[in-house]
Amino acid sequence: MPFLASKAAADDYLLGLNASCVVLRPSMVIGRGGGSSGWLTQLSPLPLIPLLDTRARVQPLHIDDLVAAVLALLRQWPSRPTVLPLVGPQPMTLPQIIDTLRAVQGWTPARYVQVPRRLAATGARLGDRLDWRALNTQTLRLAGHDNLASPEPLAEASGFRAAPCRRACMTGRHGARASRRRCAP
């Protein structure tokens, strides 16, 4: 069962218990340990970067903001079942996110090319057979669609607001070297 289908089943089960629970629905998490960060960071040094889609938008959230949001929710736990989008405040395309990662490393913006649909579909089917996380039919289907939501429900439930991705990646208390590590996989 693909990840999103299993997460949806688990979310539905939890919400069906009618217990005081919170289901978090993150857009894209950036930072150390994140799967998305890993492959985006691996792509970032390339001068010409192939992507499944160059126009779809997501609202990246730094891992530190995800942790802070969870901690804020623990201090103000909702009394009824709640579904909260966990998103950064700024919609960005994948090229904008990768260029942010490149800027953290001191590089100029890259050039991007959208992989032809037929080639991407062939690669996705191969990815299904080889159990690839970065390229499969699920990621291909998701790549062409925006993943946007309002950050307001989280702010209303917990009082927490995430920083824009660029600021979260660029700022660090320990200088530029630490800032580069903040957004590394």
pTM > 0.85: yes or no: no
pLDDT at 111 over 60: yes
Q: What is the pLDDT of residue 109?
A: 95
Token digits of residue 16? 């069906």
Q: What band does 170 get if pLDDT is binned at 50, 70 and 90?
A: low
Closest Cα to residue 151, out of 79, 81, 60? 60
Separation of alpha carbons 94 and 117, rounded Å: 17
Contact 171, 165 (CB under 8 A): no
- What backbone phi and psi angles, to 5 degrees, belong to 51? -135, 155
Helices (H), the chain: 3-16, 35-43, 63-75, 94-104, 117-130, 137-143, 152-158, 165-170, 175-182
Q: What is the pLDDT of residue 54?
A: 94
